[in-house]
A and B are shown apart, each in its own frame.
Chain A
Amino acid sequence: MISMTGVSKIYPGKQKPLVAVDNVNLKIDAGEIYGIVGYSGAGKSTLVRMLNGLEKPSDGQIEINQQIINNLTRKQLRGARQKMGMIFQYFNLLWSRTVLANVTFPLEIAGVPKQQREVRARELLQTVGLENRQYAYPSELSGGQKQRVAIARALANQPQILLADEATSGLDPQTTDEVLDLLLKINRKLKLTIVVITHEMHVIRKICDRVAVMDSGKIVETGSVFDIFRHPQKSITQKFVNQEETPQFAETNVVLQELLQQVPKGKITKLTFHGNQAKLPIISEMLRQFPNVDLNIVAGNIHRTQSGAIGTLYLQLLGNEKEMLQAIEYLHIMRVETAVIRNE
């Protein structure tokens, strides 16, 4: 569907040229939600802007649907852009137009007759759940509603690809989830390929099938979201994965300190469950096998990714030293990642 081969983007700078995107190779399949994650300035926005020709690559080749994007004439490029939707962090709606007129806007550009434009726009507003706000102006809508309008607008010309550039970064957590659910829904319903640019791992985990991690213009790691969450290889990826766990982890440290003060003994153990493991009664089986081991649950959480759940559990183990070691061994056998953080 989309393939980038040796793509670079270099801006001529005053002192030295700025390499925004550095020799990127990427393949995105039809119908998948592909995430590109990185800190700001990593080059991910430039990368996605090269997909619809808003930026021209300095080097390399971008192919979308057997069409080489970076060689198109202006007219061909406009045609190709009409088949790609794009949504933005700040929505970029036209304030001078009603919701309905914003959605018909790309259809006007494509030269669709007026009657058809409005029928199509109403249909799309229904899809995004805003059919009763069609005569409102963007200023009368909330952030989440504006992004829904922007999504409807991006879908107007029946694109095969949707580019989402930090589409949820300006929204609160709950609205973010609503917008992500909507993206997931249209991905399933329309078999739409979605390229998601974000700095939030939460977004990747929630809707993406595969992910590429970008750092200083380079893609440093790619893989399925499930694998990346389970076994992040590069330190930047680990940072991103930890970012997801950070709130819970901070809390855990506090709880750990308190617990250690109250019960200054036992092993504090971190367990990580993947996929179906999270559904198995591994802990209760462990207690049954090693009745002299007591446990205290310090903290726990479960992340859901598109290909399964990842659970983290912090336990305080007490009791017979030998049985405790056997219990940890049992967890290893059950392929639960186990790490003893405090061994006292």
Chain B
Amino acid sequence: MNETTGFSSYIHFTQVDWASMWAATAETLWMTIFSLIAVGILGILLGLILFETSASQHLGARLLHKLTALFVNVFRSIPFIILIVLLLPLTKGLVGTIIGPKAALPALIISAAPFYARMVELAFHEIDYGVIEAALAMGATRWQIVYKVLLPESSPALVSGLTVTGISLIGFTAMAGVIGAGGLGNLAYLDGFQANNNTITLVATIIILLIVFVCQALGDFIVKRLDKRIAS
């Protein structure tokens, strides 16, 4: 019988069911990547709405700004663990189940998209207004300014913001795991904590750390490639 306490309890690798560990890793990756893509799209859209309506005098635009800002602020403020419970009925309606990786998606997306939207808005505001004015002076349409000026000129900030969001999403998936969403958090909680198997908790932790490091390194690499502001 192996010890369940003390330092040695962390290194009983024979007790690790590697097949379920990899399956849990795959679930965590799947949840993170899928929700990150959705958060990226939704966040840019929301950020764009916030940015475009921020200085407008138009009544409709002001209303849209207020509504979007309210939505963003509310959902950014709700603690994730509460949000996931709060959204259970919605999740059931959308996904058909409240168990498994798919069921985590609505809460992950709704919680992270507003967070990213604020970063997107900030990234757009950091673009030199003169560049936008130059594009206007060339006769660019609003839409041309969005995809030819705003997006490329803020691309490093958009990517680094997405990296930060991705890393907090990994954390969120682990939390979602505890209430049944699967993935490494679920495994660490059920097979690690509840079964008194510290090795599994440790291995799950290490894998999550690796995912975070790779995510950060990939983000930094892309930012460096995109950013042409510093002469190389």
- Chain B residues with CB below 8 A from A110, complex form: 138-139
- Chain B residues with CB below 8 A from A96, complex form: 152-153, 155, 226, 228
- Chain B residues with CB below 8 A from A54, complex form: 133, 136-137
Q: Which of A34-74 contact B (CB under 8 A)?
A: 52, 54
Nearest chain B CB to A15 CB, angstrom units? 19
Q: Which of A126-155 contact B (CB under 8 A)?
A: 137-140
Of all chain A residues, the one with the shortest Cβ separation from B140 is A109
- Chain A residues with CB below 8 A from B232, complex form: 140
Q: A137 with B228: in contact, given A86-B137, A94-B153 (CB under 8 Å)?
A: yes
Q: Which of B131-161 contact A (CB under 8 A)?
A: 131, 133-141, 144, 148-149, 152-153, 155
- Chain B residues with CB below 8 A from A105, complex form: 135, 138, 148
Q: A86 with B134: in contact, given A95-B153, A95-B229, A139-B231 (CB under 8 Å)?
A: yes
Residues of A in contact (CB 8 Å), total: 29
Q: A78 with B128: in contact, given A96-B153, A139-B229 (CB under 8 Å)?
A: no
Chain A contact surface mostly: mixed
- Chain B residues with CB below 8 A from A52, complex form: 137
Question: Do A92 and B136 touch (CB < 8 A)?
Answer: no
CA distance A175 to B114 in the complex (A): 47
Task: Identify the A interface with B (CB < 8 A).
Answer: 52, 54, 77-82, 84, 86, 88, 90, 92-97, 105-106, 108-110, 137-140, 157, 163
Question: Do A92 and B231 touch (CB < 8 A)?
Answer: no
Q: Is B59 an interface residue (CB 8 A)?
A: no
Question: Do B138 and A109 touch (CB < 8 A)?
Answer: yes
Nearest chain A CB to B213 CB, angstrom units? 28
Interface flags, B34-69, vs A, CB<8A=1, else 0: 000000000000000000000000000000000000
Q: Is B230 an interface residue (CB 8 A)?
A: yes
CA distance A272 to B212 in the complex (A): 76
Nearest chain A CB to B206 CB, angstrom units? 38
Question: Do A94 and B131 touch (CB < 8 A)?
Answer: yes
Question: Do B137 and A78 touch (CB < 8 A)?
Answer: no
